[in-house]
Amino acid sequence: MSLLLRRLSRLRLGKPLLVRSSVLLSNGFSSSSLQTPPCSILYVTPCGADLGKLVISNADARHCIKLEKKVPLELVDSDPMVTIGASHGWVATLKDDGIVRLQDDLNPYASDTDPKRISLPPLVTLPGCQTQVVTNVAMSSSSPEDEDCVVAVKFLGSQLSFCRPAQANSEWLNFRIASPCFYSSPVMFSKKHDMFRFPGSGGHLIGSWDPRAHKHKPKFQRLRFQNLPELTKTKRELLQSCCTSEHLVESRSTDETFLVKLYRKVTASGTVKMQTKALMVFKLDEEGNAVYTKDIGDLCIFISQAEPFAVPGLCPNWVRVLDIEESISFYLPDSSICGGNCSKRAPYHIPPQNIV
């Protein structure tokens, strides 16, 4: 474990992402960077009047950064507002009124004096579906204020809904996905394919929808798994006893797409918390091949309750997982896991943000 921690510490000392200068200011900004480094929301310290100061951790730093940015405490408390996901640094909330709202309060690089709040049209529930429990939220561009931005909301069950917030008289376009293998699938936007994609349970199917075509039925692609690792009986039994989830991740710097499979299990201590026991990464190609790999080159993959992403140059061959009950880093070459259970009210990795 000590060797693993030293290795992780060395990797975190790399230069900030896409910067002209390696010097970070005390508030977490780089004085001359093109983009901010990815960061994680740690917690919010109350400072009165239902507000709190945001505390984050940059991916290329070894310490937390306390910002002066003030955010609503209700964003990290489940009552009365519920956060249902995040994308491009925008957090989505859903109240009992059935209105999805997008706001940039938890984005450490957005203004706290002029926060942006965007309300989407009232949700429409398809017959036999529900719109109270959400799997996740994804956006096609960095801001819902962009004219062509499409927001996707995947509900637990068969409904998948899309909306263009910047268009006048916008409304939801709703789909029903018949196959139950997609009921708990997260949705992501693929810049490479210019469409939304969502993996089925087990990862054997990937659904996709092109927002430009307005097709009434998503398309599906079957994957062929290759180069699968040889597992011992003990490892095979462990994986079979775990709950699995699948996540599609796109690296825009290398034009690669990965399927990440997380294997999680209830802690042996009796506490009802989930722990990651294993993780597998598959590189996808256009022909539908999913090739198992323990080498993703210079990339680091970030998975949380926000839309997943991958960036180069920070922690090569690492996968960082952040959830309500857990924060871990997984080193692919030797399957080492660093971290463990913890409580996270806002379990979001924030992707790199452009500095204007």
Give residues with Cβ within 8 angstroms of 286, minimum separation 6: none
Rounded to an integer, the average pLDDT of 285-312 is: 96
Instruction: Please name the residue that has the structure tokens 């949705």.
Output: 187
Q: Would you state the pLDDT for residue 292?
A: 97
209 class by beta-carbon count within 10 Å (0-12 exposed, 13-18 middle, 19+ buried): buried
Q: Would you state the pLDDT for residue 27?
A: 39
Least confident of 100-109, 225-234, 266-275: 266-275
pLDDT (tens digit per residue) in 37-58: 899 998 899 988 889 999 999 8
The answer to whether the CB of 319 falls within 8 A of the CB of 310 is no
Burial 239-264 (b: 16+ CB within 10 A, else e): beebeebbbbbbbeeeebbbbbbbbb
Least confident of 163-167, 178-182, 338-342: 338-342
Give residues with Cβ within 8 angstroms of 161, minimum separation 6: 123, 124, 131, 152, 153, 155, 172, 173, 174, 175
pLDDT (tens digit per residue) in 110-140: 988 899 999 999 999 999 999 999 999 999 9
The answer to whether the CB of 250 falls within 8 A of the CB of 244 is no
Q: What percent of the chain is predicted at pLDDT more than 70? A: 87
Instruction: Please name the residue that has the structure tokens 């997008």.
Output: 102
Higher model confidence: residue 57 or residue 29?
57
What token pair was written down for 279? 């993780």
Residue 19 CA neighbour count, 13 Å, CB half: 22
Q: Is the pLDDT of residue 33 over 80?
A: no
Which residue type, as a one-letter code, is found at position 207?
A: G
Q: Is the pLDDT of residue 234 over 80?
A: yes
Q: Is the pLDDT of residue 178 over 70?
A: yes
Confidence of residue 11 (pLDDT cuts 50, 70, 90): very low
Model pTM greater than 0.95? Answer: no
Give the three-state DSSP class for 235.
helix
Least confident of 11-25, 49-63, 233-247: 11-25
Q: Would you state the pLDDT for residue 299?
A: 96
Q: Beta-carbon neighbour count of residue 175 at 10 Å? A: 17
What token pair was written down for 87? 């994308």
Comparing CA positions, the residue from 203, 204, 212 lying closest to residue 162 is 212
Q: Is the pLDDT of residue 257 over 50?
A: yes
Confidence of residue 76 (pLDDT cuts 50, 70, 90): confident
| CA separation for the pair 301, 316 (Å, rounded) | 9
First to last CA, the chain: 41
* Mean pLDDT for the chain overall: 86
Q: Would you state the pLDDT for residue 118?
A: 96
Confidence of residue 342 (pLDDT cuts 50, 70, 90): confident
| CA separation for the pair 91, 89 (Å, rounded) | 6
